[in-house]
């Protein structure tokens, strides 16, 4: 029995050593790159990616150049947004991206009624999406973005982007801007910010941003107040927030819900620029053309010529036209208004026009519109009750 027991011990020891040797052998076999890549992909898929819809409207970003070095010689609105998104590398790492082709034209080609439809499409997309990117031309991008800012009712991120160089030239900013806009929309970092513009790695408020140069890629700036932040690869930095982001969720949206009106309700609103010896004919012509509102881009702190002032007063007294006074200087605030005249605060003339146009679509009452300009056109941070 002793011998038999000894043999069993030896067998068990031998089996244990054999099993240990096999386990050691297995442990030292390195995983192949393909196996590691498969595991990495599985982990990536396991993480729920944000859903982002890209709505294409055309512009330089979808432009096709005459050749690879034709920076200014190109046809805007030539490429489809789906093909552009398909060409972006690594997008599957940042978002689940879908597309919609709203149009394919330069930004100036769109009417206010077109923007009405675009805003409703953005709101509809945000019912299912975590964020929306709208690609546009840069010429009137700030006006398109501000219209969306005032009318989109969802607090989810809306990012407007474009480019200063067409998609098909060397050194184009188009691909980077589109990729970073998708990344920003998916990050959720501008939720409750309203609509923002993102180009050249910088993030700006639609209300405050303006195009400052006709060719340079760093053309968009926010005078005095500055940008919200910027994107550097995986680093999305936000350094300030708009006043509306501090509001309770139930008070966040503006009263400008487009589902309450028809796009035919959008009125005619014009801009009259003052200068040395400016005549009143522009204001007179705008009124005769059916303008319900006029923004004056005045000199200094909103001053206009004597002839313009007389034409303005006549338009107010006889036609009930509502005016907003702004400055042509590029920055600064206007605080004084008057009968039929609303102070535009620090809105530039083109932004003030959008604000007045949207307001007139919902009310013709001067005091109501003035109140909206104070509350929504010139929002201020109020933390007294925090």
Q: Tell me the C-alpha to C-alpha distance, in Å, between residue 350 and each of 29, 112, 138.
A: 67, 13, 14
Longest dimension (CA), the chain: 126
Torsion angle, alpha carbons of 109, 343, 211, 199, to 10: -100
Report the alpha-carbon distance of residue 217 to residue 201 in Å, rounded. 10
Task: State phi, psi for 179 to the nearest 5 degrees.
Answer: -60, -45
* 293: helix, strand or coil: strand
Q: Tell me the C-alpha to C-alpha distance, in Å, between residue 66 and each of 60, 69, 73, 74, 104.
A: 13, 8, 6, 6, 18
CB 248 within 8 A of CB 279: no
Environment class of 207 (CB within 10 Å of its CB; exposed 0-12, middle 13-18, buried 19+): buried
| 368 in active site | no
The active-site residue, picked from 44, 57, 60, 210, is: 60
Sheet of 269-273: strand order equals: 269-273, 293-298, 322-327, 341-343
Q: Tell me the C-alpha to C-alpha distance, in Å, between residue 254 and each of 120, 226, 373, 375.
A: 14, 23, 11, 10
Token match 């010896």: residue? 277
H/E/C letters for each residue in 313-331?
HHHHHHHCCEEEEEECCCC
* 134: helix, strand or coil: strand
Residues acting as catalytic residues: 60
């Amino acid at each position: 029995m002793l011998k038999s027991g000894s043999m069993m011990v030896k067998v068990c020891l031998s089996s244990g050593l054999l099993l240990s040797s096999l386990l050691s052998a297995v442990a030292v076999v390195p995983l192949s790159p393909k196996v590691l890549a498969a595991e990495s992909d599985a982990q990536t898929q396991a993480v729920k990616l944000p859903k982002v819809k890209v709505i294409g409207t055309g512009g330089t970003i979808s432009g096709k150049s005459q050749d690879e070095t034709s920076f200014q010689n190109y046809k805007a609105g030539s490429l489809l947004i789906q093909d552009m998104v398909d060409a972006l590398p690594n997008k599957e790492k940042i978002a689940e991206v879908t597309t919609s082709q709203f149009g394919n034209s330069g930004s100036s080609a769109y009417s206010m009624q077109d923007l009405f439809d675009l805003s409703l499409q953005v709101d509809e997309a945000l019912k299912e999406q975590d964020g929306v990117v709208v690609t546009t031309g840069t010429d009137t991008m700030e006006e398109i973005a501000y219209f969306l800012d005032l009318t989109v009712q969802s607090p989810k991120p809306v990012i407007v982007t474009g480019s200063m160089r067409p998609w098909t030239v060397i050194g184009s900013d188009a691909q980077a801007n589109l990729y970073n806009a998708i990344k920003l929309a998916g990050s959720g970092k501008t939720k409750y910010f309203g609509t923002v513009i993102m180009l050249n790695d910088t993030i700006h408020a639609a209300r405050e941003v303006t195009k400052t140069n006709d060719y340079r890629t760093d053309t968009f700036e926010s005078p005095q107040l500055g940008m919200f932040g910027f994107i550097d690869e995986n680093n999305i930095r936000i350094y300030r927030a708009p006043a509306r982001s501090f509001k309770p969720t139930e008070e966040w949206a503006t009263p400008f819900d487009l589902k309450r009106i028809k796009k035919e309700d959008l009125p005619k609103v014009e801009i009259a620029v003052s200068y040395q010896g400016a005549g009143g004919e522009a204001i007179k012509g705008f009124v005769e053309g059916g303008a319900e509102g006029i923004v004056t881009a005045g000199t200094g702190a909103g001053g206009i010529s004597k002839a313009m002032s007389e034409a303005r007063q006549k338009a107010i007294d006889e036609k009930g036209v509502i005016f907003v006074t702004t400055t042509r200087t590029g920055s600064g605030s206007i605080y004084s208004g008057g009968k039929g005249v609303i102070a535009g605060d620090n809105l530039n003339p083109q932004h003030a026009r959008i604000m007045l146009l949207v307001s007139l679509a919902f009310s013709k009452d001067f005091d109501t519109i003035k109140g909206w300009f104070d509350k929504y056109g010139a929002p201020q941070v109020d933390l007294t009750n925090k």
